[in-house]
């Protein structure tokens, strides 16, 4: 029954996953997921942060939290500097399976990159050094965040063993696909940002454009 509920939650994510966050199940463990966050605004802009989300065997029981650990280095008061674990329990002291779901976790994981204020409960944040630097030397904090963003970009193509999320270097077909999407959805329009585009593009349209991009790529290759 627990596995069934977890499967339903994952299916629910197809319509309700936060923009810029992607999650895929593991090949051999129904309770392990691999994810990535693309940060588009704020201090962490252009960061690409990979993570793992694990649901314990008793997930969906009251008080049984899922865990999220970043495999990318993240300099953030909400993330443990050594383990990469996100402070889910600090934000949700009591996990309620009737109110909290996978989408709850992913929304919080995204939100920690846009936080501009921190509560007074300083001792409950896992990265005390980052918290202190934020409060005493904001410019120094910005520099550390910028380093962390650059490191995340450098590690984009370093895929974790067993991860279902893989990044490969851009090929000609990817360039063609990007151009097709710009033509159809007006990505060059200054009034339309990445979040707007993500909301209007459907799965069916994306698959259609991928098919077109592959056909055009093959045609161009045959001409060369």
121 in helix, strand or coil? Answer: coil
pTM of the prediction?
0.78
- Residue 127 in tokens: 């990265």
- Residue 212 in tokens: 């077109």
The answer to whether 40 touches 26, Cβ cutoff 8 Å, is: no
Share of the chain above pLDDT 70, in %: 90
pLDDT tens by residue, the chain, 224 residues: 578 889 899 988 888 899 999 999 999 999 999 999 999 999 999 999 999 999 999 888 888 999 999 999 999 999 999 999 999 999 999 999 899 999 999 999 999 999 988 876 678 999 999 999 999 999 999 999 999 999 999 999 999 889 999 888 878 888 898 888 888 776 554 454 555 545 456 767 888 888 999 999 888 887 76
Residue-wise pLDDT tens digits, 1-48: 578 889 899 988 888 899 999 999 999 999 999 999 999 999 999 999
Distance (Å, whole) CA 86 – CA 145: 16
The answer to whether 54 touches 33, Cβ cutoff 8 Å, is: yes
């Amino acid at each position: 029954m627990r596995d069934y509920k977890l499967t339903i939650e994952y299916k629910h994510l197809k319509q309700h996953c936060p923009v810029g966050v992607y999650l895929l199940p593991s090949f051999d463990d129904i309770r392990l997921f691999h994810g990535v966050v693309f940060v588009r605004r704020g201090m962490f802009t252009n960061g690409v942060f990979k993570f793992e989300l694990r649901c314990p065997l008793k997930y969906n029981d009251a008080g049984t939290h899922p865990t999220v650990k970043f495999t990318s280095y993240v300099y953030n008061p909400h993330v443990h500097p050594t383990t990469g674990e996100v402070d889910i329990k600090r934000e949700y002291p009591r996990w309620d399976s009737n109110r909290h779901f996978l989408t709850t976790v992913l929304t919080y994981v995204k939100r920690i990159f846009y936080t501009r204020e921190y509560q007074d409960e300083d001792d409950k944040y896992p990265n005390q050094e980052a918290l202190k630097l934020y409060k005493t030397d904001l410019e120094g904090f910005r520099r550390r965040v910028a380093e962390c963003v650059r490191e995340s970009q450098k590690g984009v193509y370093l895929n974790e063993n067993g991860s279902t999320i893989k990044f490969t270097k851009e090929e000609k077909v990817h360039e063609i696909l990007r151009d097709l999407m710009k033509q159809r959805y007006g990505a060059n329009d200054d009034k339309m940002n990445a979040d707007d585009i993500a909301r209007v593009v459907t799965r069916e349209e994306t698959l259609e454009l991928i098919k077109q991009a592959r056909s055009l790529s093959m045609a161009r290759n045959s001409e060369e």
